[in-house]
Amino acid sequence: MDFKPLITLIAIVNPLAIVPFFMHYTAGFNRTQIRRTIQVASLTSFAVIAICALFGLAILSFFGISLASFQVGGGLLMLTSALSMINARAAEAAAHDEDVDAINDAAAHADHSRHSVAVVPLTIPLLTGPATMSTVVIYADQAQSFWQHAALLGYGVVIAALTFVCFSMAPAISRVLGKTGINVMTRLMGLILAALSVEVIAKGLQQLFPVLAG
């Protein structure tokens, strides 16, 4: 079984790096609200991955986008996320600071935002943003059998489980690792993601320009 998609998704989603954001957005929540936020964020992250795995290729076909072009674009987005992670910033969050700032401004003026932070911004874009979505679509195209597609959905379950565990243990993780420890882990994930993104870009370029394949 090929675990490269799982490694890539873990590196991109990196729920450990989102723990500080989770602590920030749930500050002042009671235990029931925190538990509900963790459950919704975990289930939503799986739902995003599952939808991209099952319908991502159909959406590309509808818009007339070739997979090779999508691979290059998605690979570049993955590489951008990797560079942000190497600078010790959350992969998806670094590419969407303006979106998150806008969300924060809206949250300050709306009480109901407390009930929606699990979806926005925790799940989208912090956990499963464009880089995650494009990665899932790329690997969905590479899946040749039913079991490979099922494995991709299974990886979504793993991501949801990791999100649940990291968020549930957020206070302990923050105390043990601290900001420095989380930054180190994020940088290591960024290095892995950078190598994987270059590979995705190379495959896309070879399809667009066969001469590059030799």
Query: What integer pLDDT is reported at residue 92 of this predicted model?
Result: 53
Measured CA to CA, the distance from residue 113 to residue 94 in angstroms comes to 22
DSSP output for 70-93: HHHHHHHHHHHHHHHHHTTS-HHH
| pLDDT tens readout for residues 44-62 | 999 999 999 999 999 999 9
d(CA 57, CA 187): 31
Token output for 200: 């995705």
Give every CB contact of residue 61 below 8 A, 6+ residues apart in sequence.
none
Reported as a single tens digit per residue, the pLDDT across 5-32 is 999 999 999 998 899 889 888 988 999 9
- How much of the chain exceeds pLDDT 90, in percent? 43
* Token reading at 27: 């500050």
pLDDT at position 88 is 65
Q: What CA–CA distance (Å, rounded) separates 196 from 90?
A: 17
Domains of the chain, by residue range, sit at 4-206
Angstrom CA distances, 141 to 24, 67, 68, 109, 145, stand at 37, 8, 11, 43, 10
pTM value > 0.85: no
- pLDDT score, position 89: 63
3-state secondary structure of 214: coil
Q: Is the pLDDT of residue 112 over 70?
A: no
For the stretch 127-160, pLDDT in tens is 998 889 999 999 999 898 999 999 999 999 999 9
Three-state DSSP at 106 gives helix
Q: How far is Cα of residue 167 from the mean position of the Cα atoms in its chain?
A: 15
The predicted-structure confidence for 87-109, as pLDDT tens digits, reads as follows: 866 545 554 554 555 445 544 44
* Mean pLDDT score of the chain: 85
Q: CA separation (Å) from 104 to 29, 55, 114, 128, 187?
A: 16, 31, 11, 18, 26
Residues 85 and 160: beta-carbon distance below 8 Å? no
